[in-house]
Structure 1
Amino acid sequence: MKKSKKLIYSLILVLFIGIVYNASKLKNQFDKIDKTDEYWEYPVQKALDFSHIRIEGGNRTYSGISPGTENKLFYKSEIESQFKYSVVNDTLIIEFDKDMITTKVNQKQFRRYKVLITYAELKSISTNDSYLDFGLDTMEELKIETEGFTTLKIESNGAQLDTLNIEMSENAFTVFRDTDNPMNVKLLKTKLVDSSFIDLTSIKAETFLPEIFGKSEMGIGSGLKWPVSNVVKPTTVIDSIQSR
């Protein structure tokens, strides 16, 4: 056998052994992970002190906000160079790079959160050009502001709130899900401008104070009654709607 062939076979053998060794090493590391921890997929975990959340950009990726026992920020290593975070005046600020923003959000591309925030107590959420899920929890008062090309999907979780104030602008899209376990709120205030859209069919409110302007659209269900007043119900308010 020629020396060149022997050299090639030797290199292939070394490469194969290296692949098997690395695969075995990675498997051992994976097996050591405590998978009873629901956040085991996030290598970076930061305990932070905040009552408000503001997210700028990031609608090219998938973020989540959910109730927890403490305020923490979780994120995957591959996203670390594409955003920065800080806490200023009791507000957690997440700022994604400009190339993480798009005007055409492909919702089917999202599988798992790259960034996850848990909260024990929350007073407000503000988003601009973001794509995220938000899990509600029972609380006294909450303010939600969305703008730009934001998609916000809210899991109602049967939460009980005294006051919920929602303000939307530009092309923001918000939907409350979980029709089998709708949220109950004493006072619901909504203000929609520009071309924003909200689906409120999974909400029950004792008092509903809506404002809607421009080309905005609103879907309401049997749990909401348009207020009896001099305010004419716009044609962009739909009494029965299937979530887009």
Structure 2
Amino acid sequence: MKLSSKILVMMLGAFVTCLFASNVILKKQYDSADKSDYYWNYNKISTTPFKYLKIDGGNVTNIVFEQQKNCSVRVLDYWGGYDKDSVKTHVSGDTLHLQFVKSPTDLYKKSWMETNVLVRIAAPQLLAIDGYNTNFELVKFDQKELQINLTGKSRIEVESNIHNFDKLSINQRDSSQVIFEMNPDLKQSPIINAKNVAVKIQGVSLLDIGHMNVDNLQLDVTESSAVILSGHNLKSLQN
């Protein structure tokens, strides 16, 4: 056998061996995972309790919050080649600080991150969110009070599991969007009722409370900003 053929065979053998070893390691990780955990394919990077959340960055991907019995921050196990160390967390007092310290430059990585939920956050309750350049979604939200402070190029969507809020405080600046709606999976009335909603919006920001009927609505909106209101609230403002 020629030397070149021997080298080719050796390279092929090494490749097959590496492929087999990788499959064995991945299977071992899969078998050891707790399948009763719905998000078993996410790695926990923090379990420290918190009630307030401050996010810096993350508008290059999707971040989801869900109310659960225990606090946790999880990152997707498979990052598509993206550096996991790009996400940093620490808890100060009752506040969880979540920071994205890097942004992707590769177009493939950027596209992959935009279409996946890379970070999942859980806690029994979340009283306030302070977000800068972030993309955040609260799913199955079951809480009657919430404070939102949103800046930079940001977006927050609240999917509520309840029809009634007591108090909402929303402060938006720069180019930010906040959307409230009922959880579409419930197949119930899309209308949300709120007792008190205080809104302050600046920049080219947008607030969508078009499916919310508010008893006491306080609006402070600059000329360049926009608010989508329900017919109920439009009639109230006209009176």
TM-score by length of 1: 0.80
Structure holding more strand per residue? 2
CA 1:51–1:21: 2 relative to 1, 3 Å:
closer
Q: Percent identity?
A: 22
Deviates more, 1:22-31 or 1:52-61: 22-31
Structure 1 position 218 matched with structure 2 position 227: yes
CA 1:29–1:88: 2 relative to 1, 3 Å:
closer
Q: Is the 8 A contact 1:130 1:150 kept in 2?
A: yes
Q: Is the 8 A contact 1:157 1:183 kept in 2?
A: no
Q: Show the counterpart of 1:56.
A: 56
Q: Show the counterpart of 1:13.
A: 13
Number of paired residues?
Answer: 226
Structure holding more helix per residue? 2
TM-score by length of 2: 0.82
1:149 Cα deviation after fit? 0.4
CA 1:137–1:2: 2 relative to 1, 3 Å:
closer
Structure 1 position 90 matched with structure 2 position 99: no
Q: Show the counterpart of 2:40.
A: 40
CA 1:75–1:182: 2 relative to 1, 3 Å:
farther
Q: How does 1:1-244 map to 2 (within 5 A)?
A: 1-76=1-76, 78=79, 80-97=84-101, 99=103, 110-135=114-139, 137-178=141-182, 180-225=189-234, 227-228=236-237
Distance 2:112 2:10 in 1: 45
RMSD of aligned C-alpha atoms? Answer: 2.7
Distance 1:182 1:3 in 2: 75
Distance 1:143 1:211 in 2: 16
Distance 1:88 1:227 in 2: 42
Q: Is the 8 A contact 1:136 1:159 kept in 2?
A: no
Q: Is the 8 A contact 1:41 1:76 kept in 2?
A: yes
Deviates more, 1:13-22 or 1:194-203: 13-22
Q: Which runs of 5+ in 1 are unaligned?
A: 231-244
Distance 1:186 1:72 in 2: 31
CA 1:109–1:39: 2 relative to 1, 3 Å:
closer
Distance 1:7 1:82 in 2: 40
Distance 2:229 2:91 in 1: 36
CA 1:98–1:22: 2 relative to 1, 3 Å:
closer
Q: Is the 8 A contact 1:64 1:117 kept in 2?
A: yes
Q: Is the 8 A contact 2:202 2:222 kept in 1?
A: yes
Secondary structure at 2:231's aligned position in 1?
coil
Q: Is the 8 A contact 1:62 1:112 kept in 2?
A: yes
Distance 1:206 1:11 in 2: 73
1:185 Cα deviation after fit? 1.6
Secondary structure at 2:153's aligned position in 1?
coil
1:140 Cα deviation after fit? 4.0
Distance 1:47 1:17 in 2: 38
CA 1:228–1:131: 2 relative to 1, 3 Å:
closer
